[in-house]
Amino acid sequence: MLSLSFLNPTYLAALGLGALPILIHLIRRRRVRIIPWAAWDFLNRSHRVHRKRLRIEQLLLLLLRIIIICLVVLAFCRPVFRMRGMAMTAPDARVHALIVLDNSYSMGYRVGNGTTFDRARQAARSLFRQVLKEGDTVQVVLASARPEALIREPTYNLQQAASAVASAPLGDRATDYGATAAFCLRLLQQVRNPVREVYWFTDSQRSGFEPRRRSDDSVWAALAHAARITWVDVGEAGRSNISVENPVLSRDLVLRSVPVRISATVHNYAPTARPGSLVHLEIDGRRVASARIDIPAHGSAPVHFVYMFDTAGMHTGHISLDQHDALPRDDGTWFAVNVRPRISVLLVDGYPNPDPARDEAFYLATALTPTGPSMGASAGITLAIHAGPGLGRTNLTGYDVVIVAGLETLSAGDARLLATFARQGGGLLLFPGRNGSQGSGTAALQSLGVLPARVGPRRTLPADAGVSLDAASMTGSALEAFRDTSQIDIGSGHFTGYNELAPASAPDVRVDARLSDGHPALVERRIGSGRVMVTAFSAGTYQSDLPYKPAYVPLVHQVTSYLAAGRSEPRLLQVDDPIVAHFGVAEAGAGFVVTKPNGSLLHVRGELGVQGVTVPFPGTRSAGIYWVGTTAHPHSQAFAVNLPQGEGDPAVVADTAIKRLLGSSGQIVHGGQSLAAAVHQARSGSEVWRGLAIAALPLLFLEGLLARRMGRRG
């Protein structure tokens, strides 16, 4: 919206001259001569013919003369148009400028010899040369999902501010315009100078406005009210990008010599498809596999690798495109994995039976250690079996997973022990027995909030109306691998009876699998850092033929390794996610260091607790592999910090949407425009007297023509 003001407003009074033609007309009308006329008929007829046209022409002439006079008078008044709501900035007024540099990683898009961010810095520096002057104050903000101030306190030192802008770093964060606007508003509220200007240098990325928060509109409105915003779009038109995102390992707990599927998603933010794109997998800095994938236009494609770690311990990986594009930063994604040599499992056999065919634990033990307990190490699982109801005096320390066959055999004391075990990161797999809904242990686990679902009575089905596991219902990470039934048909086993499960109504409860009749088959709950699962079906052959099916062994292994992962720290993080590394009590006295992706070391302090030493590190500003360790062994634990998803999408938001946010005083300046000229115009408005004078000329000419036509000059 524009508003109008005048540099010579006193001349506005002369607009009254616009009434001059009317006055002259009226005076002439009063002084007009009366001529007696004999040849009346001819006069009257000629008048009648032209009466209408004459009247229109007279009115037009009158109007033209009024307009011409008004235009000339207005030109003398020197009108100035400027953005509504903003006072004009006098040339000598002191201005406070808040410079906002978008340093999200998408600003690293290559343009010519530099990047979009280089452009932004260059444009920002031109402010210091051409716009800002001595006496002005400056603040500098880096805009991203976590905006931060490069210069928080308004400074008069323009040279220092210019240097800060010149050396501003490009970040790995996502864009979040709303968060940055709120941050800027807080900074500006501390500025006393009423003449405030915000210069926002960005690539106008659409993802920066998503997700839209309810408070955003009011923040933008307040910011636009507090300062005149100049949005400088330094982005390149028609950008395209391919990004590799979201690395996923098929197992939460990766075991040595056990194959693991490593996947990632490759996004194509371009209007053309990329068939046969080559993607590489690197493990510990060594390329170990490659794959070709077809990426559709404006779409994505998964890439999968199967890899088997032959050594236990920390490993890092990188999935990357073979060829870099204009935004190379997101052409790859990192992951880190702690490969365990084995899992320790305690199997509690609630109903030991000399007949193995009737012993549920027999099938579980066989599945977990297919070659017998002595050979269990080759499957990565060390199995111990406790036969008899309850835990007895079994020490749970050192076990990763406890599997209970016959839930109802547990005592209340067992339940408390298991609850503690789970809260400390252990995994619990609970199979209800024939009376699974009963027993003090079941009730205790229920009351302790450990059971993911209330175990209901047994439901027996006719032999010919059995149910099976529904592969389609397996959406959780625990059983997701079984959704694809082409290799393993998880639905091949049939149940003629099962316990009805009523999942607890808590946010951490999830149904991982359902039976073909829709009833929950496997319900999971996270408790502390551990995981608890309860099943509706028996682990053995009671009302089930699942143990006879090929899917049984992988199911038991998958669930066990999933439950065992509770003891592992999350190692796939995003920028700004905190790292929390755990060390044993033995490391209590040691000094700890964090090695950043760029190789720099940072000393950090560990916190001693019951479980050992916890080393937190919140400063994951950059994507890449972070190592945490003691000063003696700095590369003990690895964490992969990845770029925020969606930031690779180069789509830009429309100017109209931006303008709406900037308010009436705001303006958008694009790359090709002169920033200094735009600022000057915004500050002082546009003088239009030349336009008015030029407009008066053709009108004058038209008046001459019309007057001549009407014979006034003849």
Binding site for another protein (CB under 8 A): 28-29, 32-47, 49-50, 54, 57-58, 710-712, 714
**Single-letter amino acid, residue 32:** V
Under DSSP, the state recorded for 211 is S
**How far apart, in whole angstroms, are the C-alpha atoms of residue 313 and residue 284?**
11
Kind of pairing, strands 274-283 and 259-269?
unpaired
> Which of residues 44 and 686 has its CB atom nearest to another protein in the complex?
44
> Which of residues 59 and 657 has its CB atom nearest to another protein in the complex?
59
Q: How far apart, in Å, are the Cα atoms of 466 and each of 463, 512, 516, 521, 539?
A: 6, 20, 9, 13, 16
> Which of residues 47 and 358 has its CB atom nearest to another protein in the complex?
47
> Which of residues 30 and 690 has its CB atom nearest to another protein in the complex?
30
Nearest approach, Cβ of residue 44 and another protein (Å):
6
> Which of residues 47 and 129 has its CB atom nearest to another protein in the complex?
47
Nearest approach, Cβ of residue 54 and another protein (Å):
5
> Which of residues 28 and 690 has its CB atom nearest to another protein in the complex?
28
Nearest approach, Cβ of residue 708 and another protein (Å):
10
Nearest approach, Cβ of residue 701 and another protein (Å):
20
> Which of residues 49 and 654 has its CB atom nearest to another protein in the complex?
49
> Which of residues 49 and 651 has its CB atom nearest to another protein in the complex?
49
Q: Are 61 and 707 in contact (CB under 8 A)?
A: yes
Nearest approach, Cβ of residue 93 and another protein (Å):
56
Nearest approach, Cβ of residue 707 and another protein (Å):
10
Nearest approach, Cβ of residue 70 and another protein (Å):
24
Could you tell me the two tokens for 175? 């864009």
**How far apart, in whole angstroms, are the C-alpha atoms of residue 233 and residue 181?**
16
What lies within 8 Å, CB to CB, of 140 at 6+ separation is 98, 99, 101, 149, 150, 151, 161, 164, 165, 168
Nearest approach, Cβ of residue 655 and another protein (Å):
53
**How far apart, in whole angstroms, are the C-alpha atoms of residue 593 and residue 574?**
20
**How far apart, in whole angstroms, are the C-alpha atoms of residue 454 and residue 503?**
6
Rg (CA), the chain: 39
For residue 506, which of 573, 450, 459, 424 has the smallest C-alpha distance?
450
Nearest approach, Cβ of residue 698 and another protein (Å):
23
What lies within 8 Å, CB to CB, of 66 at 6+ separation is 18, 19, 21, 22
Nearest approach, Cβ of residue 66 and another protein (Å):
19
Length of the chain: 714
**DSSP notation for 442-506:** HHHHHHTT--SEEEEEEEE--GGG-EEEEGGG--STTTGGGG-TTT--GGG-EESEEEEEEE-SS
Q: Which of helix, strand or coil describes residue 94?
A: coil
**How far apart, in whole angstroms, are the C-alpha atoms of residue 530 and residue 475?**
20
> Which of residues 39 and 463 has its CB atom nearest to another protein in the complex?
39
What lies within 8 Å, CB to CB, of 683 at 6+ separation is 88, 89
Could you tell me the two tokens for 229? 């915003």
**How far apart, in whole angstroms, are the C-alpha atoms of residue 75 and residue 68?**
10
Q: Are 208 and 105 in contact (CB under 8 A)?
A: no
Nearest approach, Cβ of residue 65 and another protein (Å):
15
> Which of residues 45 and 286 has its CB atom nearest to another protein in the complex?
45
Nearest approach, Cβ of residue 61 and another protein (Å):
11
> Which of residues 293 and 710 has its CB atom nearest to another protein in the complex?
710
Chain-centroid distance of CA 361 in Å reads: 46
> Which of residues 55 and 358 has its CB atom nearest to another protein in the complex?
55
